[in-house]
């Protein structure tokens, strides 16, 4: 596992019980994402972004390769809390735990689609 400083946006891939964590973005849904702070690894950025947006605690464990064409990194995260804490940008009813079969229309990086196929057909 590499803990190099992240560059570009970092998207968090949080899968729990066959469902993918999504947050509102524009007129649809997207993976939680954030921009790295100075000297912050992609794993730390993903964990921070999920917490700040949703209140869920996660552990950013593994960056997915390759990075997408826009230079974004996706990081697999393990869920550490069963329910969100207060203070996330989105209230619990504003986030979505989407069953894998319902993510087909969600714009996801190719590396994320490949990863999800290894868990449940998408």
84 Rama class: left (phi>0) / alpha (psi -120 to 50) / beta: beta
pLDDT score for 96:
96
pLDDT score for 121:
41
pLDDT score for 22:
97
Report yes or no on 66 lying in a domain: yes
Q: Quick count: other Cβ atoms within 10 Å of Cβ 96?
A: 17
Report yes or no on 2 lying in a domain: no
Residue 46 sits in which domain range?
10-117
pLDDT score for 5:
58
CA–CA separation, 46 vs 12, rounded Å? 5
pLDDT score for 93:
93
Report yes or no on 107 lying in a domain: yes
pLDDT score for 4:
59
Residue 58 φ then ψ, to 5°: -135, 165
Give the pairing type, strands 19-25 and 33-34: unpaired
- Give the chain's residues under pLDDT 70: 1-7, 66-70, 119-122
Report yes or no on 26 lying in a domain: yes
Q: What is the pTM of this model?
A: 0.87
**What CATH number does the domain containing 76 carry?**
3.90.79.10
Report yes or no on 34 lying in a domain: yes
Q: Is the peptide bond before 66 cis (omega within 30 degrees of 0)?
A: yes
């Amino acid at each position: 596992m590499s803990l190099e400083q992240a560059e570009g946006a970092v998207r968090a891939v949080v899968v729990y019980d066959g469902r993918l964590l999504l947050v509102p973005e524009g007129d649809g849904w997207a993976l939680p994402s954030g921009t790295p702070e100075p000297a912050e690894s992609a794993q730390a950025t993903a964990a921070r972004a999920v917490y700040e947006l949703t209140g869920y605690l996660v552990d950013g464990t593994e960056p997915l390769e390759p990075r997408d064409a826009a230079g974004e990194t996706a990081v697999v995260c393990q869920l550490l809390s069963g329910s969100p804490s207060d203070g996330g940008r989105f209230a619990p009813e504003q986030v979505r735990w989407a069953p894998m079969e319902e993510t087909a229309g969600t714009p996801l990086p190719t590396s994320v689609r490949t990863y999800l196929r290894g868990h449940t057909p998408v």
